[in-house]
Amino acid sequence: MSHPHPELGPPPALPEGGLRIVALGGLGEIGRNMAVFEYEGRLLIVDCGVLFPEPDQPGVDLILPDFEYIRDRLDDVEAVVLTHAHEDHIGAVPYLLRERRDIPLIGSKLTLALIEAKLTEHRIQPVKREVVEGERHVFGPFDCEFLAVNHSIPDALAVAIRTPAGIVLHTGDFRMDQLPSDGRLTDLGGFARLGSEGVDLLMSDSTNAEVPGFVTSEREIAPVIDEVIRTSEQRVIVASFASHVHRIQQVMDAAAKHGRKVALVGRSMVRNMGVARDLGYLKVPPELIVDSRDIEEWPPQDVVLICTGSQGEPMAALSRMANRDHPIRIAAGDTVLLASSLVPGNETAVNKVINGLTRWGARVVHKGNAKVHVSGHAAAGELLYVLNLTRPSNFMPVHGEWRHLRAHAKLAELTGVPEDHIVIAEDGVVVDLVDGRARIAGAVHAGYVYVDGSSVGEITDTSLKDRRILGDEGFISVVVVVDSNTGKLTAGPEIHARGSGIDPVQFDGFIPQIQRALEEKAADGVIDTQEIRRVVRRTVGRWVSDTYRRRPMIIPVVLEV
């Protein structure tokens, strides 16, 4: 089983007739999916998504793939194939198109419609090419066949990429729901046909590789949603992903059945459901939808609100409702339904929202106490099924954290894929498919690029470390005035502290220690302000650590006269 090594160097030139695959995101993480394929100097990109920040990344809005690997080769990019319209697969497209606006976007009707709506906000008019399952299209040296897959958003696709180096099947995100809400099954017949033709490399969704068996059918959720709405005596507020068309359809059907009006809350929810309705993916009964601004005019028992915020996102509608920072006020007797799975890492934020809602008297129904969501990702039984159908010569698990990738690799081994034909890579690791074998050839830089407001890439890991220190320990600023010729202290030190938890009075007894340290340096002939700052920082840091066992950020300011 091939795996990355921390000392991997830059890859050699791609051998003639070989296919190179570099994941710039999506390996060892849930999100930021982006894979770059190279053949004869031309590039094909599959997906270009974002990762959402963790609590230890304060102030960060989004995390993008690092485009540095392809920045000097953007003219070599034939197209970007988008497997489906979830943010972790399309969210970084606007930032890629800022660098070259005419890169063709390839995807299904709904996928392209949702990305176009997003790009409108960025004032970008994309070059698009709509495809449907069963079609084959050629982009430079890449012959791509598109196959239907079932997922938690309509119109998802897998893609088989043919080059003279072999056939690569990239499943995208998928599951094998045998009774899907929209009747669109994963094309297992197509997978089997490709297996008979010969899949040289299978790249398959690993998110649920640790989950045994098969996922529950989407249809089993509808009766639970119906029961929640039927038995609720006042308003029902449903929080869901803004792209989960199937779930929103189930909620609207239940609301219409029980005579309730529906209001959509949240910009992305209104935008996406408008697109889905216009294209016919969302069937909305006449006069069901009302404006959220008029919702207070309706009796509580006649209303269902559908909003964003199922993951505890601070600025999403549900979080703001829980914090009493939203025009819609949670009242005793309201029912809140969290109709989505919990993205790993969001547990604390979601629990905080649940507690906030409960505080105001709401009943909260979630995956922990009711069957209100099924996963959009194939479980181990389904992954085994696909491995046996496609019988790949080489296997590379994608889309998952390390434990998911390794669990999926073990499944491949159980189905007969030789251990030395299984490649577990991480972001930036270069995999070459040459003469029917997939091997790791090196590594390129594939770090995080942080979006903070309007700035992209300006925030570094060092900046985040400083923010964490400020958030956890506060800061202490020390202002001193020194003689530029002698380095002697002429005024100060003046100390200010914020968030450190130290009583300012305590600094009065410590100031003489700073003065003595500076006098000793001046006696040694030190006049360099950089060195004087180091002395102040070291002296204050040692005292705070010894006295309070704390490590606030210390900001020395040296003024010369």
Distance, CA of 177 to CA of 19 (rounded, Å): 33
Query: Is 377 annotated as a binding-site member?
Result: yes
Judge contact between 497 and 475, C-beta under 8 A.
yes
Long-range contact pairs involving 320-326 (C-beta distance under 8 Å, separation at least 24): 321/237, 321/357, 322/352, 322/353, 322/355, 322/356, 322/357, 322/359, 322/360, 323/356, 324/360
pLDDT greater than 90 at residue 384: yes
Averaged pLDDT, 37-55:
90
CA-based Rg of the chain, rounded to a whole angstrom?
A: 28
Determine the residue type at 272: N
Question: Residues 6 or more apart from 72 whose CB is under 8 A from it?
Answer: none
Average pLDDT over the chain reads 88
Residue 267: its pLDDT value, please? 85
Residue 242: its pLDDT value, please? 83
Residue 284 — φ and ψ, nearest 5°? Answer: -110, 115
pLDDT greater than 70 at residue 189: yes
Query: Is 366 annotated as a binding-site member?
Result: no
Burial class (CB in 10 A: 0-12, 13-18, 19+), 9: exposed
The percent of the chain in helix, strand and coil, each rounded to the nearest 5, is: 30, 25, 40
Averaged pLDDT, 70-92:
95
Residues 312-330: tens digit of each pLDDT: 666 678 888 888 888 888 8
Q: Which residues pair with 20 in a beta bridge?
A: 38, 432
Averaged pLDDT, 23-37:
94
Residue 304: its pLDDT value, please? 93
Judge contact between 147 and 176, C-beta under 8 A.
no
Distance, CA of 77 to CA of 45 (rounded, Å): 7
Residue 480 — φ and ψ, nearest 5°? Answer: -130, 150
Query: Is 505 annotated as a binding-site member?
Result: no
Residue 63: its pLDDT value, please? 84
Residue 89: its pLDDT value, please? 95
CB atoms within 10 A of CB 230: 12
| pTM summary value | 0.83
CB atoms within 10 A of CB 233: 11
